[in-house]
Chain A
Amino acid sequence: MLSALSLFKAEDGEFSPPSIFEFYPEIVAFADTPFAINRIMMIRLIVMVLLIVIFWLWTAKFNKAVKTGNVVPGRFQLLGELALNFVRKSIAHDQLGEKDGERFLPLLTTIFFMVFGMNITGVIPFANIAGTSVIGIPLVLAGVAYVTFIYAGTKKHGIRFFKNSLFPSGVPKPFYILVTPIELLSTFILRPVTLALRLLMNMIAGHLLLVLCFSATQFFFFQADGLMSLFGVGTLLFGFAFTLFEILVSVLQAYVFTLLTTVYIQLALADEH
């Protein structure tokens, strides 16, 4: 394993590459019960509380601004307005239109901020692992998205929603043998699976890359001898670059997850031609 790196093995220190066991930290509380809490779960709970507090403060600010008629927002309020307006205008209204956009806006906003909040802990010092890097949260969110777009479709078209999505019109009858299984697979099975996997795998790969960079840096600086420790500068720079990249990825994944949910809802609502 990792023969290229093991060439640099010093006599005393051992380089330990990151493994999948990064994502199974030891349990810190309530061991042997169904509510066992480990580091990742604790981070999720903290993020949840933080999100609730931030949104509570934002709504208090907005309400106060409306009441006093003070239209000049402060820095904190401006950030809230920008973030909430981004989801509202450039995701919900752009894809779904004003009416349906407003209908699904609470769900889309929740998904966006939850995914972002859980992702960003991957680069926050002392947390250092994303809440979404274990399947639980991506699975729940993908399930919510799945239920929502099926609900949106069946509410609008009734049972015709399934007929439209399994037997798309304009296809010659014999081709349904080929088209229907593909549509079934892609619409009702692969959509939620890829939603969950995309988020999860991005976070796992990001975390492993960061751990690899920084544990290599630690190894080169403190355990490798002589000139070999110069490699550490390179790995440190790489780690820093990947940290910035991870910030981008966590915003992007939140955006993509919300956008895909919106598009699935939009496809379910669309009238069949």
Chain B
Amino acid sequence: MDAVNIAELSGNIAVVGYGLAAIGPGIGVGLVVSKTIESIARQPELAGRLQVTMWLGIAFTEALALIGLATPFIFV
């Protein structure tokens, strides 16, 4: 008698991998933005410069998540 498979999952394990890859950058971007908001609240006159730095920080952090997105295409 065959075992009845009541909870079959089908799909690609790379999806889980990408989910894991998105955790770190997600936390990172959150930290960058929260600290920027905090700093702007402390010194509103620096808002412009802080925002530029924030975008830079986000761009660097986010690159990790995007590399995670790129890897399945490279290492199939």
Chain B positions within 8 Å of A95 at CB level:
52
- B32 CB to closest chain A CB, in angstroms? 13
Is the CB–CB distance between A198 and B66 below 8 Å? yes
Q: Does A94 contact B (CB under 8 A)?
A: yes
CA distance A144 to B52 in the complex (A): 22
The interface size bin for chain B is 10 to 19
Produce 1/0 per residue, B32-53, CB < 8 A to A. 0000000000000000110010
Residues in A with CB closer than 8 Å to B56 are 256, 259-260, 263
Given known A-B contacts A259-B52, A260-B56, A197 and B10 have beta carbons under 8 A apart: no
Chain A: which residue is nearest B10 at the CB level? A3
Q: Give the residues in chain B near A243, CB-CB below 8 Å.
A: none
User: How many of chain A's residues have a CB under 8 angstroms from any CB in B?
Assistant: 21
**Looking at chain B's contact residues, is the secondary structure mostly helix, strand, loop, or mixed?**
helix
Cα A197 to Cα B62 in complex, Å, equals: 11
Question: What 1/0 mask marks residues of chain B from 47 to 65 whose CB sits below 8 Å from any chain A CB?
Answer: 0110010011011101100
Is there a chain A Cβ closer than 8 Å to B67's Cβ? yes
Q: Check if A7 is an interface residue, CB within 8 A of chain B.
A: no
Cβ contact of B70, chosen from A3, A94, A197, A256, cutoff 8 A:
A197
- Those 6 A-B pairs whose CB atoms lie nearest each other, nearest first: A201-B66, A194-B63, A256-B59, A201-B69, A198-B63, A198-B66
A positions within 8 Å CB-CB of B: 1-3, 20, 90, 94-95, 194, 197-198, 200-202, 204-205, 252, 255-256, 259-260, 263
